[in-house]
Amino acid sequence: MQVYARLSVSNEVSKMFLKTSFCSVGRALWNKSTVLRPQLPLLNQTVRSVATRKRFYRKTGILHSGSNFEITLDQRKLKTPRGNLFLVDSEPLALAVAAEWDAQKENIVQTSMHLSTLCNTVIDNPNNLNKFDIVQYMLNYIDTDCILFQSGDEDDLYKLQVAEWDPIIQWFCDRFRVDLHKTRNIGGPSVKEETKAVLSKYLMSYNFAALNGFVYGVDTLKSVILTCACVEKVISVEKAVLLSRLEEEFQLGYWGRVEWAHDLSQHDLQARLASTALFIHFNSTSNSIQIKNEMTA
Amino acid sequence: MAMNPNTQMLRSIISELRRASTGSLGDNPLFRYIMGQYRRNQTTQEQICKAREEMQFLANTYLCYLRSSRLQKEISEEFHGKGERTIAETAKMVGFKLPHDPK
């Protein structure tokens, strides 16, 4: 989708050409990657729905309806791509989404609206996932967690990884009372079943919306451990992204920094992870407030 | 006098919000909400320690979100391909002039 967005300013003819060629290539790739997206419709439809639109509203706001909040664009109520009403149950989240729509100046760039994307995914649930599917995805992911693979041949990099990554691994082990072992060769680390059981219990305590946020975070950082550390507010978003890009930063020291590659990806990842952290926070605090009320009642 | 880090964070968030939003900040509901949260937490600062730390983390995260989104947009706008260059632009890039240009 980002590829398409980048292409969209070239002239009409090449746009048509690129659109068709990208779709055929994209669809071929799509059929192969079935990890969490088994039931998505044709890519063509998806591409069409993110085509650039002009901003068509002046003011954005929120409405309080029952225990939920809706977003308004002038007089219209915001809807999801599937046509469902856009509803969230947290006021700050609704305000942040409204601000996100307000931040679109001339065109509506939906690829940059991470909070809206997350809410849409939860409301529409385009992949028909349930909590168990998501938790299973995360449990499988921890086998290839990026901070458990440390450099086997570059000693300077290894030292840096030990200094930066090991405290986080240690925190994870202490927090969940589990045992994790990193690896320095291509054979993956073996994560014990007990570890996965503990992690599964922890993740199941979050609601469906927050778990969707977790998946977004894990896909951003390529690490379940770093995502947990950020969600638990142990490390800041900037720090988590830095740790996830540690090898890139190390190589930058030798080869130099290129703004349109390194800075761009850094800010992209930071925006994604920050939106995830906010999303999980707002979706889990409202939950805990409800539980407390139930207990006192 | 050094500014209180919380105040500094609030000012950064407001400045990012001002850049992001289209209308005036006064009728931005998010701005009013954030100010309300800051005031409320100011009064209970000493009592609920956990909430304050959580608030600082949240404020920092939201600031990071606004700032990174803006910087990412700025970088991609700067380096985004703008289609084909004209002959004059291409010539200028390699230090040539067109035949009818003054020497």
pLDDT of residue A2: 41
User: What amino acid is encoded at A191 in this protein?
Assistant: V
Distance CA A54, CA A81 (A): 16
pLDDT of residue B24: 82
Per-residue pLDDT, B52 = 72
pLDDT at B82 exceeding the cut of 60: yes
Q: What residues does A247 pair with on adjacent strands?
A: none
Q: For residue B21, give the nearest of A62, A102, A267 by CB distance.
A: A102
- CA–CA dist A211, A221 (Å, integer): 15
Per the CB < 8 A criterion, the answer to whether B12 and B63 are in contact is yes
- The correct CATH number of A1-16+32-128 out of 3.40.50.620, 3.60.40.10, 3.30.2180.10, 3.90.1640.10 is 3.30.2180.10
Question: Rounded to an integer, what is the distance from CA A35 to the centroid of its chain?
Answer: 15
pLDDT classification of B50: cutoffs 50, 70, 90: low
**Domain limits, CATH 1.10.3580.10, in chain A:** 131-296
Q: Where in chain A is the domain with CATH 3.30.2180.10?
A: 1-16+32-128
Mean pLDDT of B86-101: 85
A177: contact with B, CB 8 A cutoff:
no
Question: Residue A19: its pLDDT value, please?
Answer: 41
Complex confidence, ipTM: 0.77
Residues of chain B found within 8 Å of residue A233, distances taken between Cβ atoms: 53-54, 57
Point out which residues pair with A65 in neighbouring strands: A68
Confidence of residue B44 (pLDDT cuts 50, 70, 90): low
Predicted pLDDT of residue B39: 83
pLDDT at site B54? 84
Mean pLDDT of B81-103: 82
Residue B99 contacts residue A295 (beta carbons within 8 Å): no
The CATH superfamily of A131-296 is ATP12 ATPase (1.10.3580.10)
What pLDDT does residue A50 have? 52
For residue A252, what pLDDT is reported? 92
In this prediction, the residues of chain A whose per-residue pLDDT falls under 70 are 1-51, 286-297
- Angstrom CA distances, A1 to A6, A9, A47, A275, stand at 9, 14, 6, 19
Whether B30 and A98 lie within 8 Å, measured CB to CB: yes
Q: What residue spans of A11-154 are helical by DSSP H?
A: 12-32, 43-49, 91-102, 114-124, 131-141
B23 contacts on A by Cβ (under 8 Å)? 58-59, 102
How far is the C-alpha of A43 from the C-alpha of A28, rounded, in Å? 10
SS3 per residue for chain B: CCCCHHHHHHHHHHHHHHHHCCCCHHHCHHHHHHHHHHHHHHHCCCCCHHHHHHHHHHHHHHHHHHHHHHHHHHHHHHHCCCCCCCHHHHHHHCCCCCCCCCC
Say how far apart CA B84 and CA B90 lie, in whole Å.
Answer: 9
Phi/psi of residue A86, nearest 5 degrees: -80, 110
Per-residue model confidence as pLDDT tens digits over A127-172: 999 999 999 999 999 999 999 999 988 899 999 999 999 999 999 9
Chain A positions in Cβ-Cβ contact with residue B49 (cut-off 8 Å) = none
Domain ranges of chain B: 5-93
With CA atoms as reference, report the closest residue to A226 among A284, A288, A161. Answer: A161
Whole-number Å distance between alpha carbons of A226 and A163: 15
Q: What angle do CA B51, B54, B56 make, to 5 degrees?
A: 110
Of the partner residues A9, A92, A278, the one whose CB lies closest to the CB of residue B65: A278
Contact A278 B62 (CB under 8 A): yes
Distances (CA, A) of B2 to A23, A185, B5: 56, 49, 9
Q: Once rounded to an integer, what is the mean pLDDT over residues B69-75?
A: 93
pLDDT at position A190, please? 84
Strand (E) or helix (H) holding A72? strand A68-73
In this structure, are residues B10 and B38 in contact, taking their beta carbons and an 8 Å threshold? yes
How is residue A164 written in tokens? 């930066």
How many angstroms separate the CA atoms of B13 and A209, rounded?
26
Look at the alpha carbons of A89, B6, A243, A194 in this order and tell me if their dihedral is positive or negative: negative
Greater model confidence, A21 or B71? B71
Is the pLDDT higher at A71 or at B103? A71
Distance CA(B28)–CA(B14), nearest Å, equals: 11
Residue A136 or B49, more confident = A136
- Over range B27-39, report the average pLDDT: 87
pLDDT, tens digit (0-9, with 9 covering 90-100), for A70-89: 999 999 999 999 999 999 99
Do the beta carbons of residue B98 and residue B91 sit within 8 Å? Answer: yes
- Where are the alpha helices (H) located in A40-130, listed in sequence order? 43-49, 91-102, 114-124
With a pLDDT cut of 90, the percent of chain B lying above it is 28
CA separation for the pair B65, B77 (Å, rounded)? 18
Which of A95, A112, A237 is nearest residue B69 as measured by Cβ atoms?
A112
pLDDT tops 70 at residue B13: yes
